[in-house]
Amino acid sequence: MSLTEIIRRFPSDVIFGVATSSYQIEGTAQGGCGASHWDSFARQPEAITDSSDGSVACDHYNHYAEDLDLVADGGFDAYRFSFSWPRLLPQSDKEVNADGLAFYDRLLDAMLERSLQPFATLYHWDLPQRHANNGGWQNRDVTGWFADYTDLVIRHFGDRLASVAPINEPWCVSFLSHYWGHHAPGLCDLAATARSMHHVQLAHGRSIEVMRGHGQQNLGCVLNKEFAVPVDGSELAEKKTYLFDGIYNRWFEESTFRGCYPEEVLALFGQHMPDGYENDLGLISAPLDWAGCNYYTRSVIAPDASEPHLGFRCIRGDLPKTDMGWEIDPEGLAFFLRRMARYYAPGLPLYVTENGMANADNLNAAGEVHDPERVAYFESHLAALAALVDEDVPLKGYFAWSLLDNYEWAFGYSKRFGIVHVDYASMVRTPKQSWHAWRAALKAR
Ligand code: IFM
């Protein structure tokens, strides 16, 4: 079934959008943006595949109007973006960068002029370097710094935001960055992991509290989820798969929606959990207006006694893969939405806040980009979601990742996730076949 036919199966109140984030597209060299821990991580030898950073990125700082034209011309209803904390507060938590405020004023006004609903994220990984120097996500004080930053954003921009989520993908902020060391600050330390996994959740709770205090509407969370299957039928592989699900998915689902952490993950963290963490769980689980799910792939879990703490490693199975080497498994996405709707948050509006794939895209001689693999990826995942319509799963929106090819973190500019191709030398944008497929599908609704 084509994208056009699949999109027709969704109720008319389901919105479609595209997503981006500040560090990945804006260009931190512009407009007085301050240093973040991604700038320093990117300077570490071998941290980034192509040794690049976000200083120029897609130069969205200067190209934002053209980029939003592509969102609107594509027929999308909404644009999911993030504010950059170091752009707004480059030097200290007290001195606001007027150019930073002016940039997001222009960006928001341009969205509203194009009738695009602004879906804001307050933190998509660009922690100010000064806060990283003070312990970053390992330091409980980060929750207060984040609450103050939330206050600034909501006071200035809150009246123009259709929806707000405090933190993008808390698993990446904590586990991926402090245990596997793949993202800034690049640590491999169980104690740092335990602390960051609690503090990122507390920061979410404190940010929601600040926003409720301002009467801000439509507040949610954006959790990334990865489906897991055991490598074989052994009891050990089953147990390790459950642990993986606990660390990756249920840690965030349980605490956000039920006010507790999974026992098996608490056992892993043991004495490293911050003292009195239990007292924060009420704030962490304060009611939300919606829940977002970012979904890309699945992992196969293989027991491995040489892994010191987890006792497993993640491998890939034999499903077709994207250019990231990630397996394509649309049913995993449906699994998480069902689990949310039936178990964690019955009745709560659900959004797929990111979904998409990297592909080795090239401009052809005619100046076009053919990415049928990406069109098929969107079709398969949207078909899995369309099947949920008859199951009372309250899906209210879907955001494709990403509008533009952009800075894919530790992979630099070597991986292309966009529905619009970016030539990084000329900054020319070229809508890909997938952008045209979306446009045709959304215009035919
Ligand atoms: O590029 C990232 C994004 O920043 C967060 N979610 C996953 C995407 C693809 O890896």
Q: Are 12 and 445 in contact (CB under 8 A)?
A: yes
* Residue whose CB lies within 8 A of the most ligand 1 atoms, among 354, 359, 416, for a mutation test: 354
Give me ligand 1 centre to Cα 120, in Å: 16
Regarding the beta carbon of 169 and ligand 1, being less than 6 Å apart is answered yes
Q: What is d(CA 232, CA 18) in angstroms, rounded to the nearest whole number?
A: 37
Q: Is the CB of 21 inside a 6 Å radius of any atom of ligand 1?
A: yes
24 CA distance to ligand 1 middle (Å) = 9
Q: How confident is the model at residue 228 (pLDDT cuts 50, 70, 90)?
A: very high
- Asked if 18 contacts 76 with a C-beta cutoff of 8 angstroms, the reply is yes
Please report, as a single letter, which amino acid is at residue 65: A
- The reply to whether ligand 1 has any atom less than 6 angstroms from the CB of 297 is no
d(CA 164, CA 80): 9
Write the CA distances from 50 to 243, 271, 276, 408, integer angstroms. 33, 38, 42, 11
353 lines ligand 1 (CB under 6 A): no
**Class assignment of domain 7-353+383-415?**
alpha beta
**DSSP β-ladder status, 429-431 and 420-422:** antiparallel
Does ligand 1 have an atom closer than 6 angstroms to the CB of 126?
Answer: no
Identify the band that residue 99 occupies on the pLDDT scale cut at 50, 70 and 90.
very high
Using one digit for the tens of pLDDT, what is the confidence trace for 47-72? 999 999 999 999 999 999 999 999 99
- What is the reported pLDDT for 290? 98
Say if ligand 1 is within 6 A of residue 294 CB.
Answer: yes
- Chain segment 171-218, per-residue pLDDT in tens: 999 999 999 999 999 999 999 999 999 999 999 999 999 999 999 999
Residue 161 — very low, low, confident or very high, per pLDDT cuts 50/70/90?
very high
Mutate to test the pocket of ligand 1, among 175, 409, 422 (most ligand atoms within 8 A of CB): 409
- pLDDT reported for residue 335: 98
What's the gap between Cα 245 and its chain centre?
18
Locate 16 and state its tokens.
Answer: 């479609």
Give the C-alpha separation, 181 to 48, whole Å: 12
Q: What share of the chain is helix, strand, coil (3-state, %, to 5)?
A: 45, 20, 40
Ligand 1 atom, smallest distance to 324 CA: 10
Q: Are strands 220-230 and 163-167 parallel, antiparallel or unpaired?
A: unpaired
Q: What is the pLDDT of residue 381?
A: 98
CA–CA dist 111, 134 (Å, integer): 36
Which pLDDT belongs to residue 54? 98
- Residue with CA closest to ligand 1 atom 2: 408
pLDDT tens digits along 5-28: 999 999 999 999 999 999 999 999
Please tell me if the CB atom of residue 76 comes closer than 6 angstroms to any atom of ligand 1: no
pLDDT band at 232 (very low <50, low <70, confident <90, very high): very high
Compute the distance between CA of residue 428 and CA of residue 52 in angstroms, rounded to an integer.
Answer: 19
**Residues belonging to the chain:** 445
In this predicted structure, what is the pLDDT of residue 48? Answer: 98
User: Which candidate in 26, 169, 226, 253 is catalytic?
Assistant: 169
State the distance from the centre of ligand 1 to the C-alpha of 111, rounded, in angstroms: 22
For 310-341, b where at least 16 C-beta lie within 10 A, e where not — what string? bebebeeeeeeebbeebbbbbebbbbbbebbb
Residue of 45, 82, 21 whose CA lies nearest to 402: 21
* Cα 327 to ligand 1 centre (Å): 15
| Residue 427 confidence (pLDDT) | 98
253-292: per-residue pLDDT in tens? 999 999 999 999 999 999 999 999 999 999 999 999 999 9
- pLDDT confidence tier of residue 401, bands split at 50, 70 and 90: very high
Instruction: Say what the pLDDT of residue 27 is.
Output: 98
d(CA 216, CA 438): 31
SS3 call for 178: helix
131-to-38, 141, 175 alpha-carbon distances in Å: 12, 9, 18
Q: pLDDT above 90 covers what percent of the chain?
A: 100
Indicate the angle between helix axes 142-157 and 190-213, nearest 10 degrees: 30
Ligand 1 atom nearest the C-alpha of 24 is: 4
- Tokens read off for 300: 């196969």
Q: Look at residue 93 in the predicted model and tell me its pLDDT.
A: 95
- Distance, CA of 48 to CA of 42 (rounded, Å): 6
Pocket test for ligand 1, best of 124, 173, 401 (most atoms within 8 A of CB): 401
Q: What is the DSSP string of 163-217?
A: EEEEEB-HHIIIIIHHTS--STT----HHHHHHHHHHHHHHHHHHHHHHHHTT--
Q: Which atom of ligand 1 is nearest to the CA of 354?
A: 6
Q: What are the CA-CA distances from residue 384 to residues 213, 246, 321, 378, 444 (Å)? A: 38, 24, 18, 10, 20
**Best CA proximity match to 74, nearest among 402, 364, 416, 428:** 402
Residue 51 is predicted with a pLDDT of 98
Examine the residue annotation and report whether 169 is marked as an active-site residue of this protein: yes
Burial class (CB in 10 A: 0-12, 13-18, 19+), 390: exposed
**pLDDT band at 416; cut points 50, 70, 90:** very high
The pLDDT tens digits for 295-351 are 999 999 999 999 999 999 999 999 999 999 999 999 999 999 999 999 999 999 999
Question: What 3-state DSSP class applies to 224?
Answer: strand
Question: 113 an active-site residue?
Answer: no
Q: Where are the domains of the chain?
A: 7-353+383-415
pTM higher than the cut 0.95: yes
The Å distance, Cα 408 to ligand 1 centre, comes to: 7
Active-site annotation holder among 26, 253, 354, 408: 354
φ, ψ for residue 118 (rounded to 5)?
Answer: -80, 115
> Among 62, 42, 63, 44, which residue's Cα sits nearest to residue 53?
42
Model confidence at 400, pLDDT cuts 50, 70, 90, reads very high
Q: What tokens were used for 20? A: 């981006």
Among 175, 403, 417, 422, name the best residue to mutate to test ligand 1's pocket (greatest count of ligand atoms within 8 A of Cβ): 417
User: Would you place residue 130 in the very low, low, confident or very high pLDDT band (cuts 50, 70, 90)?
Assistant: very high
Give the distance (Å) from ligand 1 centre to CA of residue 167: 13
Structure tokens belonging to residue 206: 């404190």
Ligand 1 site, residue 408, Cβ cutoff 6 A: yes
Mean pLDDT of the chain: 98
pLDDT of residue 324: 98
How much is the CA Rg of the chain, to the nearest whole Å? Answer: 21
pLDDT of residue 342: 97
Q: 243 near 269, Cβ under 8 Å?
A: no
Q: Which of 426, 415, 323, 441 lies closest to 367 in space, CA to CA? A: 426
- Ligand 1 atom with the smallest distance to the CA of 125 is 4
User: Ligand 1 mean position to 99 CA, how many Å?
Assistant: 27
Backbone angles phi, psi at 424, to 5 degrees: -70, -15
Which ligand 1 atom sits nearest the alpha carbon of residue 124?
4
**Predicted pLDDT at 87:** 99
